Chains A and B, each alone.
Chain A
Amino acid sequence: MKTGDPIARARGLRKTYGKDDGLIRAVDSVDLDITRGETLAVMGPSGCGKSTLLHLIGGLDRPSDGELWLRGRRIDQLSERALAQMRCREVGFVFQAFHLMDELTAQENVELPALLAGRPPRSARRRAGELLEQVGLADRAGHLPSALSGGQRQRVAIARALANDPVLVLADEPTGNLDSAATLDVLRLFEGLHSAGYTLVIVTHDERIAATADRLVSMRDGAFIEETRLTGGTRPRLSALIELEG
């Protein structure tokens, strides 16, 4: 698959909860193509269905209706086991709340997905070391999450998301719990991932973060209401943001 091909595709994607009068359309008839190497930002107010959409694309949740493909393979009807294997090898998640294992060091957290994928411990450890170095935390490899700042925890989470070289990195409000300085650190990392050819989907309610993407879709009440292709992509926007933050 060459750059420009859709790496993920959704058609008529729906996710509903409840029924009759209590029916909630968390995601409502969404059509979406995510091309390889692009950074897509999904924006919208709280409860508009951004995170649900991300969970559907990543196979953490199942759609009520519609079709979903990842790398040309239909995934909305995969078994739980196949979905788990897909999450392990093809998708990397970054969460707002980091979701690191409290009892594991930064290094152990990062090597966990590789171990789950069946990689030898030595190889998993080496890869975790490289990734921690990449996110600037090589000197914090032996620290527990409780000994790390919010920004550092998120960087560990990003390193963990990359452990199995995923084709798609899904970030759910990755800077939602961070201060400005840490937000910039994370954005720099995303910029690096973008440059390295990773495909990123970032859910955010922060316009400044969204402005760093190649493309922005806005959601309300579960549906896409606007799609904007941002001129210039991530780098100039990020530079502008860095200047703005001083």
Chain B
Amino acid sequence: MLVIVIVAATTALTLGLVLRGVTAHPYQTTRQATSGPDVLATDFGHAALAHVAPLAHARGVVRSSGPFPVAFPVLRANGHTDAVLAEGRDTGPAPVDQPKLAEGSWVRSGAVVVERSFADALGLHAGDRVTLNGRSFKIAGVAVTAALPVNGLGFLEGSTQWPNPGLIWMTQADARSLATSHYPLGYLLNLKLTGPAAAEAFANRFDPGGYTNNTGGLYLIPWQMISRQDGLLVRHEQNIILVGSWLLALLAIGSLVILVGGRMAEQNRRVGLLKAVGGTPALVAGVLLAEYLALALIAAAAGLVIGRLVAPLLTNPGTGLLGTAGAPQLTVFTVAAVAAVALAVTVLATLVPALRAARTSTVRALADAARQPRRRAWLIGHSARLPVPLLLAVRLAARRPRRVLLSAGSIAVTVSGIVAVLFAHATLAVSQFGTSSGTANPDRSDVGFISQAAREDQVLLIVTILLVALAAVNVIFITRATVQDSRHASAVTRALGATPDQLALGLSAAQVLPALAGALLGLAGGFGLFTLEAQGGSVSQPPAWWLIIAVLGTVIAVAGLTSIPARIGARLPVAEILQTDNA
């Protein structure tokens, strides 16, 4: 179990560290396969063509395709209503940016090709039908391109009405026919330069506002910008996984403290024997620490391997690009960082119990005597006024205050993660739908983000599941440790007349009370965490009921998880314990 906990934390950490720059490869593959442009020039409005067309003959341009007319019709398909950027194309192949078909055939009159990530988001396939501004079109095919970023085209248009339209290709005649007075035609021109590396300089030369600052009018997009835009796909995921891995590491510390504490208690006699044969406290502490550090190193190695194997699953750039990112490489830094964190976590978790074991008197250790419980007079005094289960809960909790802190901390970390996920989800939902609850607004849905949002949601879900799983493990371990540790006290309490139900409720409530405090702390923690992760970006608050459910759900889950070990603990044979425990 110890190894599993460290493996979980180191796997997450490995993922967080290796997911850097992993989309570069798929973008390059797609760019090569589609003869992607070095610079894309765009303009919208009545003078668009006049602004864009001369660039085909600018110095440094060796090849071009276009200008292609672009319309902004409203697409309706499969119950979705979305804005699309409809690019008019020739029926023959273009020398620059010829989208690569993933299925079906290229455009023809009355038949469109849908960009693959957009098609995936809407569930569209070749042969399906869509309507554009009310006119029916057949889907001839599905294709990918490197001319525009796969995570949406919102930065092209700057429209708040349609923040992130999807991309389709159709014949030039069809595109022209879809222009309206409100959304007149725009034009796209794909350029190949003599030196692709000079694309950014080229874009700055001709874009009046500079390509990083789209002020409207002529806008030039160098391929490096698109590559970076695609990189953003994974950057959010990297941040989520990195933050998640630190949360997991915190939880792992909690798990380790409990596990090690429990194992150390079981090793009392071994410690006593070591000391009885002349082992110094330093030797005892050293032996115990070395044992766990060796386990930590093995687990870290396993975590590194699993993390490296799992990373490609998360770095898949989506259907908008060709190929996969491949297995990210484990650098010396990553290996050293993961090993260092695993060792640090283990030292943090084992140092106190190891030192405590080393300081235990030899006689006590040989007698396998239980550790003396702590006394909190004010808590004991006040608990007398409570109903029996709560009285028992407070007194059980007060016996081991560090365990209470650990329990509360573990839940606080988990709820922080969950709340951060809720904030992230709400923020994504606002981006997608305009409302934090994620309810689609038919007048303003934005499927361009769906693919990315779905992927981020997926990563958030994985991190949340890991957090919840580790927290659940912690809750069970802590309850088990409490049951084990209070075995004698529980038996005496039952001998004095506490019913098994009262004791079971008490054992359970001893975990639920710190969990409630932890969950409330986690609310604030989660908000802070997400604000930090958002790095000054916009943050949308999830509906209050989500947060209430997160807190109450956590408390109820803790109550549920503790109920079984608590019930088992409350039904241990009293006579047997009192006979064998020599208090």
Query: Which A residues contact B (CB, under 8 angstroms)?
Result: 51-52, 55, 58, 60-61, 80-81, 84-85, 87-89, 93, 95, 97-104, 108, 111-113, 115-118, 121, 124-125, 144, 146, 160, 164
Partner of A103, one of B398, B497, B499, B502: B398
The answer to whether B501 has its CB under 8 Å from any CB of chain A is: yes
Residues of A within 8 Å of B388, CB to CB, are 115-116, 118
Instruction: Compute how far the CA of A125 lies from the CA of B384 in the bound complex, rounded to whole angstroms.
Output: 10
Task: List residues of B whose CB falls within 8 A of some A CB.
Answer: 372-375, 380, 384-385, 388, 391, 395, 398-399, 488-489, 491-502, 571, 573-575, 578-579, 581-583
State whether B499 touches A80 (Cβ < 8 A): yes
Asked if B578 contacts A99 (CB within 8 A), the reply is yes
Question: 26 pairs across A/B with beta carbons < 8 Å?
Answer: A61-B573, A61-B574, A61-B575, A80-B571, A81-B500, A84-B498, A85-B497, A87-B495, A87-B496, A89-B497, A97-B578, A98-B583, A101-B489, A102-B373, A102-B583, A103-B395, A103-B398, A113-B496, A113-B497, A115-B388, A116-B496, A117-B497, A118-B388, A124-B384, A160-B496, A164-B497
| CB-CB nearest in chain B for A87 | B497
Residue from the set B372, B374, B388, B579 with the largest chain A CB neighbour count within 10 Å: B579
The 3 closest A-B pairs by CB, nearest first: A88-B497, A121-B384, A84-B499
For the complex, give the distance between the alpha carbons of A160 and B492 in Å: 12
- In the complex, A61 Cα to B502 Cα: how many Å? 18
State A97–B582 Cα separation when bound (angstroms): 6
Please tell me if the beta carbons of A144 and B375 are within 8 angstroms of each other in the complex: yes
A144 and B372 CA atoms in complex are apart in Å by: 12
- Contacts A98-B583, A102-B373, A115-B391 given; indicate if A85 touches B384 (C-beta within 8 A): no
- Residue of B380, B498, B575 near A60 (CB, 8 A) is B575
A51 → chain B, closest Cβ, in Å?
6
Q: Note all chain A residues with C-beta closer than 8 A to B398.
A: 103
What residues of A have a CB within 8 angstroms of the CB of B494 in the complex?
84, 87
On whether the beta carbons of A80 and B575 are closer than 8 Å, the reply is no
Residues of B contacting A121 in the complex (Cβ-Cβ under 8 angstroms): 384-385
Q: Contacts A103-B380, A116-B388, A118-B388; is A88 near B496 (CB within 8 Å)?
A: yes
- Tell me, in angstroms, the Cα distance from A88 to B373 when the chains sit together: 24
Contact B575 A103 (CB under 8 A): no
Report whether B384 and A115 are in contact in the complex, using a CB–CB cutoff of 8 Å: yes
A240 to B93, CA, bound (A): 120
* Contact across chains for A111 and B384 when beta carbons are under 8 A apart: yes
In the docked arrangement, what's the CA distance between A101 and B373, Å? Answer: 9
Q: Which of B395, B499, B575 contacts A55 (CB 8 A)?
A: B575
- B380 lies within 8 A of A104 (CB): yes
* Chain A proximity of B474: nearest CB distance (Å): 24
Note all chain A residues with C-beta closer than 8 A to B582: 97
B391 neighbours in A (Cβ, 8 Å): 115
CB distance from B390 to the nearest CB of A (A): 11
CB contacts (< 8 Å) of B395 on chain A: these are: 103
Q: Is the CB–CB distance between B579 and A81 below 8 Å?
A: no
Collect the chain A residues with CB atoms within 8 Å of residue B574's CB.
60-61
- B398 CB, min distance to chain A CBs, angstroms: 7
Closest chain A CB from B399 CB (angstroms): 6
Give A124 to B381 CA distance when docked, in angstroms: 12
Nearest chain A CB to B391 CB, angstrom units: 6
Q: How far is the CB of A146 from chain B (nearest CB, A)?
A: 8
B500 A103 Cβ-Cβ under 8 A: no
- In the assembled complex, which residues on chain A have CB atoms less than 8 Å from the CB atom of B575? 51-52, 55, 60-61
The distance in angstroms between the C-alpha atoms of A99 and B398, with both chains bound, is: 19
| Residues of A contacting B492 in the complex (Cβ-Cβ under 8 angstroms) | 99-101
Known: A60-B495, A99-B583. 18 other contacts (CB 8 A): A61-B573, A61-B575, A81-B500, A81-B501, A84-B502, A85-B497, A87-B497, A88-B496, A89-B497, A97-B582, A97-B583, A99-B488, A99-B491, A99-B495, A102-B583, A112-B493, A116-B496, A160-B496
